[in-house]
Amino acid sequence: MGRSPCCDEHGLKKGPWTPEEDQKLVDFIQKHGHGSWRALPKLAGLNRCGKSCRLRWTNYLRPDIKRGKFSAEEEQTILNLHSILGNKWSAIATHLPGRTDNEIKNFWNTHLKKRLIQMGIDPMTHRPRTDFFATLPQLLALANLHELVDHRPWDDHAARLQTEATTQAVKLQCLQYLLQTAAAVTATSAATNNLSGVAATSESEPLSLWSTPQLLSSQSQVGNEITDEFGIPCSSMLEQLVNNDEAHDLGYNRGDHFGQGENGTIRTPLLSQCSLPPLTDVSSLNPGDACSTFASPDQLFFDEPFIIEFP
DNA sequence: AAGCCACGCAACCGCCAAGGT
DNA sequence: TACCTTGGCGGTTGCGTGGCT
């Protein structure tokens, strides 16, 4: 026999709280503390179940709750902690003073998760998605553009140039995706080392790396790891790529597309990715997947025949 | 102006673990 | 040791709101 829900008791109100109810709850807790949540509603004169009171208090009425938009630093902290802890919202909340687990959970589900997905990153593993279908739209768009450029009779030189430019921009985006994938493989081993270090020293310095705002918000440090993979400073290379006139003309530096850096610099998907945490799940890494399954980025995107092999 | 839709968020539900008896 | 109570947590739902057609 299952347990009956706490609010099944007759006459207990559900749904949104009124200001009067809020006031009663706040007054009571300020005078007496919450004590037993089950007993509280009767004592406070509320027609609610104890659980509802507790939730209302912890998620909304508590005086130390910080409301308003999440700062960039808070976002980064959530991303980093989520990559380690997963959906342990209460654990994540302990690192964000004034934020409730519910608020963080909502923020994750409505903002961060979608953003990661848009960037081609699996929100659960924090690793770039390597499945073919995740990249299919990009590849199809690329293939279509390629055919247009190659087979259409061109009277309008300007239009041709623009399409070619767009093709290059799409290539750039796909290249960035592959770089993310390759970088993740590199970062994974580093992350593993970091994490084992954290685990080994967790008693003295629990999660010290992740809870340090300077490190959490440092894109360059993580970006430097990517440099090692290709021997090229990825951030500078990509900034150069994205900063070129073509990208500007195509709107690839628009803030609403990739995000705008603090001093007006462009934040590309990859650079944003660089700010994501190192990856944690090395055990599931398949040496044959991701970038190693594909040809090298050069081969993939600059050897045109590959592209038109797709139907 | 009205209807539709997507989004954000507060609140609920159900499960689980800890502690008490 | 088994059962019960309680609090906590994560997942999900549903309502309000704003933007778009």
The string of pLDDT tens digits covering residues A245-296 is 333 333 333 333 333 333 333 233 333 333 433 333 333 333 333 333 333 3
What CATH number does the domain located at A72-115 have? 1.10.10.60
Q: Which of A12-16, A103-107, A134-138, A216-220 has the weakest average pLDDT?
A: A216-220
Band of the pLDDT at A104, cuts 50, 70, 90?
Answer: very high
pLDDT recorded at residue A175? 52
Beta strands in chain A (DSSP E): 121-122, 127-128
DSSP, residue by residue, A220-249 = HHHHHHHHHHHTS-HHHHHHHHHHSHHHHH
Selected residue with higher pLDDT from A75 and A228 = A75
Sequence-distant (≥ 6) Cβ neighbours of residue A8 within 8 angstroms: none
pTM for the full predicted model = 0.54
Q: Which of A280, A274, A273 is nearest to A190 (CA)?
A: A280
CA angle A207–A213–A216, rounded 5-degree value: 75
Give CA separation, A289 vs A21, A81, A294, in Å. Answer: 56, 26, 8
Which residue is closest, via its CA, to the C1' of C5? Answer: A38
Distance A291 CA to C20 C1' (A): 41
The answer on pLDDT for A109 being more than 50 is yes
Listed ranges A151-155, A212-216, A306-310; the one with the highest mean pLDDT? A151-155
Average pLDDT score, chain A: 57
What CATH number does the domain located at A11-61 have? 1.10.10.60
pLDDT recorded at residue A133? 53
- Nearest nucleotide by C1' position to the A68 CA atom: B9
Band of the pLDDT at A12, cuts 50, 70, 90?
Answer: confident
Asked whether strand B has any atom less than 7 Å from the CB of A47, the reply is: no
pLDDT recorded at residue A234? 33
- Nearest nucleotide by C1' position to the A109 CA atom: B8
pLDDT recorded at residue A151? 45
Protein chain A, residues 107-136, with a C-beta closer than 7 Å to any atom of nucleic acid strand C: 109
Band of the pLDDT at A87, cuts 50, 70, 90?
Answer: confident
Sequence-distant (≥ 6) Cβ neighbours of residue A214 within 8 angstroms: none
pLDDT recorded at residue A11? 73
Q: Which residues pair with residue A127 across a beta bridge?
A: A122
- Nearest nucleotide by C1' position to the A12 CA atom: B12
Asked whether strand C has any atom less than 7 Å from the CB of A50, the reply is: yes
DSSP, residue by residue, A10-37 = TT---SSPPHHHHHHHHHHHHHH----T
The answer on pLDDT for A39 being more than 50 is yes
In chain A, which residues fall in CATH 1.10.10.60? 11-61, 72-115
Asked whether strand B has any atom less than 7 Å from the CB of A7, the reply is: yes
